[in-house]
Each structure stands twice: as structure tokens, then as C-alpha cells.
Structure 1
Amino acid sequence: MEIERKFLIKKCSFELSKYDYVEIQQAYISTSPVIRVRKRCSSLGQEEYILTVKSKGMLSRQEFELSLEPADYERLLTKAEGNIITKRRYIIPLCDGLTLELDYFQDLFQGLIMGEIEFSNEAEAKKYNLPDFVLKEVTFDKRYHNSNMSLMPKEDILDLISLSH
């Protein structure tokens, strides 16, 4: 079970050079149900390829992941619908024992900065107070789900980015 809240982030005050990151390339074979393929390259050069299936949901949903071989990832990538999403994800520990996954989107979505915080249960997620670096919560706004972003035409992408500042 994945339980997370998603946020638009203000111009970031984190000193990003202090944190590990991964480069992510992801695409969607299906958006209903969500079937995603993802390539992750760590700042140390380690690569990981993953197929993910997610159930419907906003705050919480079931998630199943399967490791892929690079050739299988490349084959599945050719079956993807819509935009390929690329981003750099920083892993930032927060003072309350939680972790912020801070995504700086690239290419088509350049300028969009979003963060996600995962929780162990829904009660914890619901009582969490928004940190100062949050511009707006978008957990329940479908436009900010990567699967929906992958299907957006360019003009909608530009609107989405302009709304995030």
C-alpha cells in the first residue's frame, strides 16, 4: 500500500548538493489501470528498471513493482502512451523522521517542482501539517498525477507549469 501526499514546492531553499538524487525516466503503458515503466539512474551511476501497476486512488492505493531487464524496459517503452516524463528526484530527510522526494521535472515539464511524502498510514498522512516550503497541496488534483501528465497536450502542460509558480 502506498500512502502519500503530493505538493507543489516553492522555489526551493534546500541546499540540493547535500542530497542524493536519481534521474528518472518514466512512461505509461496504460493510465487505467496505471501501468508504468521506469528507469532510475542514481547519482552513483547505478541503473534500475521497474514495471509498476497501481490501483485507483488519490491518498492511498495498492502498488505492485517488478524489476525488469534493460532490454525488457526498452521494449515496453515502445508501447507507452503519450509523453515520456523525465525528472531528477532528490531524497531529503525531514526533521520528523519522514522523507521528502523532491522532483525537478525536465524537458516538456521543465519548471515544475513537486514533492511527495510517504506515510505509514492514512491517519498519519491526514494529520501532517504542511511545511513552509509547500506552495500548494495537489494530492487530490488529478492534473498532477504523472499518469495524467503523460497524456497532456503541450498547451495544457504550459498551463500546468504556469499554475505551479
Structure 2
Amino acid sequence: MEIERKFLTKEVPFSLADFPARKISQCYISMSPTIRLRQWDDRYILTVKGKGLLAKEEFELEITKEEYDHLLTKAESPAVEKVRYLVPLEDGLTAEVDVYEGKLTGLMTTEVEFPTLEEAEAYEPPYWFGKDVSFDHRYKNTSLSLHGIPEERE
């Protein structure tokens, strides 16, 4: 079960270069059900996600580059390119700050995964996280891949 909240981040009050990062490329071979292909470094991951916004079932399977390349030919969406910075938070949580590239340049989001739904709902984010977009379908990566950055950004 994946339980996470997502925020529209304008800027961070520190240098992201001080934190571990990975360049991620991902696309979708199905939107319903959600089947994602993701690559970073020499890792290739096939993910199947259930329905939901704050909490959803998720299954990940590491695949070979050859399997990835074959499945990539079936993509229904353009790739989402981003650099993900891993910023440690209190209580053992991690902020995943995504700085998007390509057609999504200018967009930055922060996600935090939680062990329980209760912890996710009770979480008080730092001010710099920005607007909570956990329930805004336009900021799901599936939507971003197809429609780009939503026009209404506060």
C-alpha cells in the first residue's frame, strides 16, 4: 500500500545539491489500470498501481533493460523527466522533491510517503512544501505526462 501526500513547491530554503538525487524517466503503458515504466541509473521498474489519491495499492517489479526497452514501445504517454532529491525529515520521513525537466520545466513537487493513513492525514508539513495537491488529479504524473503543467498554479 502506498500512502503519500503531494505538494506544489515553489522554492526550497536550502540547496538541493546537498542531498542525494537521482534522474528519473517514466512513462505509462496503461492509464487504467495505471502501469508505469520507470528508469533511473541502471534500474528498470515496472509498477502497477491501484485506484486512489492518498492511498493506493502498488506493486513494483524490477525488470531487465531488454524488457524495459520492449515495453517502452507500448507507451501511451510521453516520458516524464525529473530529478528527485531525497531530503530527510523528522520522524524518519523523507521528502521526495521532484524538479521536473523537459516540457514540465518550472514545476517542482514534494511527496512524502507514510506508514499509515492516520499519519498522512495528521501530518503538518513545513511551510516550504507549498500547496497540498494530494487530491488534485492534474498533478498526478499520469496527467502531467499527457497534459503538461496545469494552468492554474497558485
Residue 73 of structure 2 is matched in structure 1 by: 78
Residue matched to 1:120: 115
Q: Which runs of 5+ in 1 are unaligned?
A: 42-46
Match of 1:104 in 2: 99
Pick from 129, 135, 139: which aligns with 1:140? 135
Which moved further from structure 2: 77-86 or 57-66?
77-86
Between the aligned partners of 1:91 and 1:164, the Cα distance in structure 2 is: 24
| Aligned match of 1:48 | 43
User: How big is each residue's C-alpha offset from its partner over 1:100-136, in whole Å with a ceiling of 9 and x where there is no partner?
Assistant: 0000000010000001000000000000012110221
State whether residues 143 and 149 of structure 1, in contact with CA within 8 Å, keep that contact through their aligned partners in structure 2.
yes
TM-score under structure 1 length normalisation: 0.89
Q: Which runs of 5+ in 2 are unaligned?
A: none
Which residue is equivalent to 1:8?
Answer: 8
Letter in 2 for 1:98: L
Structure 2 letter corresponding to 1:80: A
Provide, for residues 42-76 of structure 1, a one-character-per-residue CA deviation record: whole Å limited to 9, x for no partner: xxxxx210000000000000000111101111111
State the Cα RMSD in Å. 1.2
TM-score (norm 2): 0.95
The residue aligned with 1:28 is 28
Runs of 4+ in 1 over 6 A off after TM superposition: none
User: Once structures 1 and 2 are overlaid, which stretch shifts more, 7-16 or 97-106?
Assistant: 7-16
Report percent identity of matched pairs: 45
Contact 1:81 1:150 in 2 (8 A): no
- Measure, in 2, the Cα distance between the counterparts of 1:98 and 1:124: 11
Counterpart position of 2:53: 58
2:46 and 2:14 map into 1 onto residues whose CA distance is 31
Letter in 2 for 1:90: Y
